[in-house]
Amino acid sequence: MTASLSRRVWLERERAHQERADALTAAHRERASRREKHPVWDFLFTYYSYKPAQLRRWHPGAGVELEEAPERLSWRWYSPGSSEHSAVPDAATFAGEKSELAALIERMLRRTASRPGQFGCFGLHEWAMVYHADEHRHPVPLRLGQAGTDAVVENHDLRCTHFDAFRFFTPEAVPRNRTELTRDDQSLFEQPGCLHAGMDLYKWALKLGPLVPGELLLDAFELARDIRLLDMQAAPYDLSAWDVVPVPIETAEGKAEYVSQQRVFADRGTRLRGELLQAWLGSARSVSLSA
């Protein structure tokens, strides 16, 4: 049976969502108004290429009918509901229009969820991105200098499992990784301990659009935000000018701290990954997707 929300209820949820989204993006929007860059937080809006306005757009989730919502009938992937002027996000329509994307999202979420987390990478992907490099992705100094940074890479086993991090490795770092990753086999190696797999839950939630409840989308954004901080704390960069306290993964203490936080994020990601699968597949039982 399709869940139904009265106009009063769904407008209240929409308003609460917008207020929460505005609070989450306030600092970024303020910096953007001054054309001020930030090496940690800009990533959430540049790499993922989603604007604060997209976070403000609330949806009830697939199969949840909004009563007295004629304005939503013009929104993409909404269909008429059971009563006049009602609207409901339609998983079948989404799957029909975006069959490859729908299959990819399910495959990535399912396969990642099926594997145990790995916790021995220590965030060295960022170090591998500047290994033996004359120019760096971020125009800030390296904490240990170039020689010290290179030595950390050379003294560790690179175990990156995330292609979208691996693809930025310098040519000299690529053969040092335990596995040479490709886009085609990305779903074969993604695992829940990876920080970037956790951040990408935000990406998958946004790509599913109205099929994901707005509250779940913002939960995924908050996880991506929190993970991003650790990602940069463990990076080789000196970010003291932005009050970022390093997690020195080149030391035993730093490794222990990194793994401790990594496990917490993996647990949060596992819960959200399950909720995303349920939000998408739980309301699309009649939609057949390739595994």
Alpha-carbon distance values, 230 to 23, 45, 93 (Å): 21, 17, 38
The answer to whether residues 238 and 261 touch, using CB atoms and an 8 Å cutoff, is no
The predicted pLDDT at position 286 comes to: 38
Residue 6 gets which letter from DSSP? Answer: -
Smallest Cα–Cα separation from 188: which of 213, 158, 210, 162? 162
Please report whether residue 290 resides in a domain.
Answer: no
Task: Label residue 2 by pLDDT band (50, 70, 90).
Answer: low
Both structure tokens of 236: 């080789």
pTM of the model: 0.94
Q: Which long-range contacts (CB under 8 A, 24 or more apart) does 162-166 make?
A: 162/125, 162/189, 162/190, 162/194, 162/196, 162/197, 163/189, 164/196, 164/200, 165/125, 165/129, 165/196, 166/125
Alpha-carbon distance values, 107 to 53, 151, 190 (Å): 28, 37, 11
Alpha-carbon distance values, 45 to 42, 54, 242 (Å): 5, 11, 18
Please report whether residue 158 resides in a domain.
Answer: yes
The answer to whether residues 51 and 45 touch, using CB atoms and an 8 Å cutoff, is yes
| Beta carbons within 10 angstroms of residue 241's beta carbon | 9
Please report whether residue 291 resides in a domain.
Answer: no
The predicted pLDDT at position 216 comes to: 97
Alpha-carbon distance values, 47 to 63, 222, 239, 247 (Å): 30, 16, 19, 23
Alpha-carbon distance values, 67 to 16, 33, 169 (Å): 18, 37, 50
The predicted pLDDT at position 153 comes to: 98
Please report whether residue 288 resides in a domain.
Answer: no
Please report whether residue 286 resides in a domain.
Answer: no
Q: pLDDT tens, 78-125?
A: 999 999 999 999 998 998 999 999 999 999 999 999 999 999 999 999
Please report whether residue 258 resides in a domain.
Answer: yes
d(CA 173, CA 278): 38
Q: pLDDT tens, 39-91?
A: 999 999 999 988 999 999 999 999 899 999 999 999 999 999 999 999 999 99
Please report whether residue 100 resides in a domain.
Answer: yes
The whole-angstrom distance between residue 257's C-alpha and the CA centroid of its chain comes to 22
Is the pLDDT score of 182 beyond 50?
Answer: yes
Range of the domain at 277: 4-281
Domain count, the chain: 1
What type of residue sits at position 12? E
Q: Judge residue 175's burial from the number of C-beta atoms within 10 Å of its C-beta, 0-12 exposed, 13-18 middle, 19 or more buried.
A: exposed
